[in-house]
Amino acid sequence: MQTFKDFELIIVDDGSTDSTAKIIKQYDDPRIRIIQHEKNKGVATARNTGYRISRGEYIVISDSDDINLPTKIEEQVNLLDTNPEIDVVGCQYQVFNEEGFGAIYPFSESNEYIRCMQVFGNDQAPASMFRKEKIEKLGLLFHDESFPAAVDTNWFSKLPRKQ
């Protein structure tokens, strides 16, 4: 339901035990590609699988428990297209669970906020979009697959700290 239509959707089924692959294969949309891991290999490996086969200029992470508002990708693409000096963009997000929707967490553009997120934890991965080629040139495209969790915090902590 995104307003931005020119994208590929890579779904990495990381050894799920539900009917994920069967459900996805019911969609007749050439933008959708599904890759199946026979067994669960973890979030880092799943993301790396998607990164390797992606053909787009930008990458957006959307985990199985994420919901993206319809204009999210369009707004982030527009921002990156009009600001070539920016390589990673985030946005505000809202946490939700079985009880409903919780607080909205704004995204601050201040360097102090971004540095804190790099060091003390990162909730921005599902809200982020980045330039594949530039991140790859920095040697940061792929996650360390020995990390069973916190791959986002590890990744963001390695991003260059520019003013």
| Assigned domain for 91 exists | yes
pLDDT confidence of 155, banded at 50, 70, 90? confident
Separation CA 111–CA 72 (nearest Å): 22
> Per the domain annotation, does 14 fall within a domain?
yes
4 within domain boundaries? no
Question: Do the domain assignments include residue 1?
Answer: no
Confidence tier at 163 by pLDDT (50, 70, 90): very low
pLDDT tens, residue by residue, 114-123: 666 656 655 6
Total tally of structural domains belonging to the chain: 1
- Domain CATH for 72: 3.90.550.10
Among residues 126, 59, 46, the alpha carbon closest in space to that of 94 is found at 126
Contacts within 8 Å (CB) and 24+ apart, 62-65: 62/126, 63/125, 63/126
Contact 51, 141 (CB under 8 A): yes
Asked if residue 45 has pLDDT above 80, the reply is yes
